[in-house]
Structure 1
Amino acid sequence: MPTEILLPDPPLWLTAPLLGEPHASRLLHTLDAELAWQRPTLRLYGREHLIPRAQVWMGDPEAHYRYSGRDFRPDPWHPAVAELRDRVIAALADHGMQAGFNSVLLNRYAGGEERMGWHSDDEPELGREPLIAAVSLGAERPLRFRRKPGAAPAGDAGAAAPFNAWLPHDSLLVMGPGVQRTLQHALLPRRIPGLRISLTFRRVHPG
């Protein structure tokens, strides 16, 4: 699987294709049709907002997650997602990275107007230096990165100007230790049609 190094330090890299066709497209349609997609409200700056996408939190029973004032309890693993998790863990092992993912956040973007705002995946439940692996299926869109306000410079991230990581169908983006501490990312609105589903694998440490 060809790998593109986006940043060497902290490690940020992209692999594609991950599954190959027709597996990847079949998985996209399976997830779209079979998951119980939700559009919850989140509290931001003291107000409730409907999120501009649909999502499912999935994982082991103890993988509770708190985000923007809400507690999320995981749905059980869908067999196709559990198979993908194992495929991702194997791909990381090929690069010398050990992952024990017990949860995944799936986001469904119906079109380019649906989005994810600026954030870092740095909630306490994820530990000090989380390893995050994100699989993209469907329409290709760019994930925008920028240095985290107030973050101390670390490796190439300290001097990096904002940049786009284009995430094609059937790709794996790996955000290694240090990425969440030094960088933020966002999926900004774009005039790009088509369904996109992302699966962001992570390990939640039960409190």
Structure 2
Amino acid sequence: MQGWHTLQTDPPLHLYRGVLGEPAADMLLAQLDRELEWQRPRLKLYGREHPIPRRQVWMGDGDAHYRYSGRDFPPEPWHPAVVALRDGIIRLLSERSVSARFNSVLLNRYADGGERMGWHSDDEPELGPEPIIAAVSLGAERPLRFRWKQAGHEPFNVWLPHDSLLLMGPGCQRELQHALLPRKTPGLRISLTFRHVQASGH
């Protein structure tokens, strides 16, 4: 079923199915897989460097530098298809009276279910105190696992189908962590998590 589905309201978590519609979503998945220069940086963990268990591209405005795991990531220039998707998401959110602006996006490419993203919150200082994160999923459907930072609540899964948008509103990064855990799921998946990075000095 297309349209918005409210998963919880405190903190706000919403899923939208049918962002682009087919075959546009299929075409975008193939285009991004083919045209982007996917990278596998090495990050330091417990004093040792390891390649990340997926491939990624950090993309955005020229001043949208991002730092995590001790590394600074200068942005790649916007791809025209990603700009069009970003603008469409902003319009979609405005229809729900959600005012959002995105000057950057982290794209992650998972070749199969064995590639993953560990537990984290998107709460880096440059994202501001209450960031809004809009995550688009293309390709193989997988669950995003959530857990609460404070004890007393059960963890839960949010299944992210092809051509869907997960909106993580204010408070989600403060109260929750999320991860894409390994799963025996075949097929390529690309996620695009749009966010607003505050420029240096702000």
Q: Same fold (TM over 0.5)?
A: yes
Q: Secondary structure in 2 aligned to 1:6?
A: strand
Tell me how many residue pairs correspond in the alignment.
199
The 5 Å alignment of 1:34-73 reads 34-73=35-74
Give the aligned partner of residue 181 of structure 1: 174
User: Separation in 2 of the partners of 1:110 and 1:65?
Assistant: 24
TM-score, with structure 2 as normaliser: 0.96
Q: Which residue is equivalent to 1:194?
A: 187
Structure 2 matches for 1:114-133, cutoff 5 A? 114-133=115-134
Q: Structure 1 length as normaliser, TM-score?
A: 0.94
In structure 1, runs of 5+ residues without a counterpart are 152-157
Unaligned ranges ≥5, structure 2 = none
1:30-86 per-position Cα deviation (integer Å, ceiling 9, x unaligned): 000000000000111211110000000000000000010000000000000000000
Paired residue for 2:86?
A: 85
**Residue aligned with 1:91, SS:** helix
Shift of 1:7: 1.0
**2:121 aligned partner, one-letter code:** S
In the alignment, does 2:197 pair up with 1:204? Answer: yes
Query: 2:157 maps to what in 1?
Result: 164
Choose 163-172 or 93-102, whichever is displaced more: 93-102
Flag as ranges the 4+ runs of structure 1 deviating above 4 A: none
Q: What residue in structure 1 maps to residue 100 of structure 2?
A: 99
| Secondary structure, aligned partner of 1:57 | strand
CA distance in 1, matches of 2:43, 2:199: 22
Match of residue 21 from structure 1: 22
2:34 aligned residue = 33
Distance in 1 (alpha carbons) for counterparts of 2:153 and 2:29: 33
Counterparts of 2:58 and 2:50, CA distance in 1:
18
- Percent sequence identity is 70
Deviation at 1:160, TM superposition (A): 3.6
Per-residue deviation, residues 89-138 of structure 1 (Å, max 9, x unmatched): 11111111111100000000000000000000000010000000000000
Secondary structure in 1 matching 2:89: helix
